[in-house]
Structure 1
Amino acid sequence: MFKMVLSVIVISLSTSVIAEGIEPETVIENTISLLIAKKTNEAFDYAISSNKFFADKKADVDRTKLQFISFIQQVGSPTNCEKLASKTLIQRIRKDIYICLSEMQPFEIHFRFYKQEKFWVVQSFSYSSDTDELLDSSIEMQISNSK
């Protein structure tokens, strides 16, 4: 089985407003739908689309986008993504983790949001192919719960 160990690539977008009134669930659902539809470019662009600092970080964003596209080309587009966890702190900070199943191997997608005064903003979007730690910790949790 092909195993790609890739360091987590994160794009921090501390002040990127998706759109007024759009909730994190919508951002996540649309990004994942585009990935499953094999529209990797569009999925990446959508996940970070409203970064008002795009011009300042364009080179970094373009480099990360190429790495993400290359990763998806190597493992294949996901056929399914399922939520593993969602945690909200003080009703203003939120992280969602999804596991996506592709042809070659599973991978994780992480979304981090921050709620400014009125609107949620994307703080970061990242992915990782290293799902071993996640699997090991869930097995350990299942064993300890069964005792």
Structure 2
Amino acid sequence: MSSLKYIIAVIIIISTGVAGYLGSKSYTTSDGFYCTANVNLHKHNNMLSAVLNYHMEDGQGFLTLNGEYYENEIKTADVSLSKQFRYSERHGEYILSQKPDGILDVTPEDKSILVDFIPDFYLTSSIPSHHIRIKNLKKGAWIFTTAPVPYFVCTDY
């Protein structure tokens, strides 16, 4: 009798584990991605060396940027930006739009530097939308093509 109880307990434990796994898979989405990119953006003799993190899922997006600003190869500032937005996607074409009451965290000093390197959409809440192309290169890697930001590859983090 004791071995029957043991077998039933093992079956219940395994069934619960399988049900939990299948349930968690049903709540995950194929829409969206999380990725990071290291970029060096140049304008004349100035450079922004930054780490970009994109978190995009179910029409909600979030960008963080942390970087160092160089003038004539001399580091003059650390910069950061956090931006929350909405997006819609069709065949790799993304329209980003402002999220009412969304997060926009950038200091006036950082904004004055970043305005030369990234689109105004990310620096203000007054630009209604921004178009970008994001193509899946392979599992865990996407290429971003948008002006004036140059092409960069963003990979799973």
Q: Which protein is richer in strand relative to its size?
A: 2
Q: TM-score, normalised by structure 2?
A: 0.27
Q: Which protein is richer in helix relative to its size?
A: 1
Greater Rg by CA: 2
Structure with the bigger RCO (C-alpha within 8 Å, sep 6+) is 1
